[in-house]
Amino acid sequence: MKVPVWAEIDLCAIAQNMREIRKIVSPKSEIMAVVKANAYGHGALESAKVVLANGAKSLAVARVEEAKELRKAGIEAPVLLLGYTPGAQFKEVLDLNLIQTVYSLEMAEALNSIAERSGRQAKVHIKIDTGMGRLGLTPGKSALEDVLKAARLPHLIPEGIFTHFAAADSADKTFALAQLELFNSFLEALRKAGLEFPLRHCANSAALLDLPQTCLNLVRPGIIIYGLYPSNEIRNSLNLKPAMSFKTRIAQIKKVPAGFKVSYGSTYQTSHPTVIAVISAGYADGYSRLLSSRGIVLVNGQRARVVGRVCMDQCMVDVGHINDVYPGDEVVLFGSGGGETIPVEEIAKLTGTISYEIVCMVNSRVPRYYLNQKGQ
């Protein structure tokens, strides 16, 4: 690569992960692949093409802007908007033939009104909040009445209904199972009232792996598509392969004495003569400042420690123990290179966060290079 910092995305890995997911999903269940947040940093368009070619029937994003990019690129598959959509964008939802998540009767009525004025019908999925405390109607008599009213609106097509688990990625499944029971009870109440949605879904990545009973007739894998597990408490026999490697280059090599101060605030000082490599990635690229004097990178296939504070566009690494290091050499921030790997989960642990955030943080100014485009 001729750039100072980049991300490599292995499309064959995404294809393999989709095939692994298909193995544990009933043939009766459709796969809706979640490609929001630029496919968790992996590139929504390229990822969407791969998942649709490997078993996904539909896609899910968070916002209209994300869906618009897919439509502009010629993606015609059904796309569900999972998040909040302002009423001012409802016409665009119709123009782009998107499926809108609805989580209140008022929202349903507003969308119905826009659809009526446009002479069209809007597909919707109703969101039920069974314990996440986020978007959704809370199960009960009022919610039941609201869903029945929304489903009768003449310019809405009530295609689906779903909920989302708050703790399916925990070892203790008690709360997830309680959510499932509540959701199923609500679906049964709707059936008794004469309403059954064609699509019913609640299984996210963690539920797919650990709770097969949550796989209704549609499932929503997200992070596992990209080869990462939802948490350290979730492990499965699936042969998942991480798809992203985040890389940079050495800009300069410095031989320094003991007592040499490094980076802003002079928070790091060498204890002995060594060699410092200045590398061309910083927090503006998505390499967290929390990795200051903590991060580990790969240089020539060997681990080296970040020293001093991570800067906006660079950071420094002690490479005194590694032979034959030169400006221009490749450095792996996470992922694989030189026959070795720094797992995303390791970086997440060092920064006190989750793997989702680490891959999503890789900035838009970092170019993505897609590997194995013909082998997917």
11-226: CATH architecture: Alpha-Beta Barrel (3.20)
Chain centre to alpha carbon of residue 7? 15
Q: Report the distance separating Cα 326 and Cα 338, nearest Å.
A: 15
Model pLDDT for residues 276-298, shown as the tens digit of each residue: 999 999 999 999 999 999 999 99
Q: Tell me the pLDDT tens digit for each residue of 302-329.
A: 999 999 999 999 999 999 999 999 999 9
pLDDT tens for 4-49 read 999 999 999 999 999 999 999 999 999 999 999 999 999 999 999 9
Span 365-371, mean pLDDT? Answer: 97
Residue 51, phi then psi, degrees to nearest 5:
-65, -35
Report which secondary-structure segment, H or E, holds 330: strand 330-337
Nearest one of 204, 234, 216, 240 to 18, comparing CA atoms: 240
Question: Which run of H or of E encompasses 275?
Answer: strand 274-279
For residue 374, the model assigns a pLDDT of: 66
- Domain limits, the chain: 11-226, 244-371
Q: Which tens digit of pLDDT belongs to each residue from 162-207? A: 999 999 999 999 999 999 999 999 999 999 999 999 999 999 999 9
% of the chain at pLDDT higher than 70:
99
- Looking at CATH, the fold of the domain delimited by 244-371 is given as Lyase, Ornithine Decarboxylase; Chain A, domain 1 (2.40.37)
Residue 127 contacts by C-beta under 8 Å, 6 or more apart in sequence? Answer: 101, 102, 103, 135, 136, 137, 161, 162, 163, 164
| DSSP assignment of 331-364 | EEEEEEETTEEE-HHHHHHHHTS-HHHHHHTS-T
Distance CA 373, CA 14 (A): 11
Catalytic residues: 36, 264
Beta strand extents in 66-155 (DSSP E only): 79-81, 99-102, 122-127
CA distance 254 to 270: 12
- What's the mean pLDDT when you consider all of the chain? 97
Place of tokens 């790997």: 341
Tokens of 68: 């618009």
What's the whole-model pTM score? 0.96
- What's the mean pLDDT in 335-356? 97
Per-residue pLDDT at 375 exceeds 70:
no
* Cα 217 to Cα 44: distance, rounded to the nearest angstrom: 24
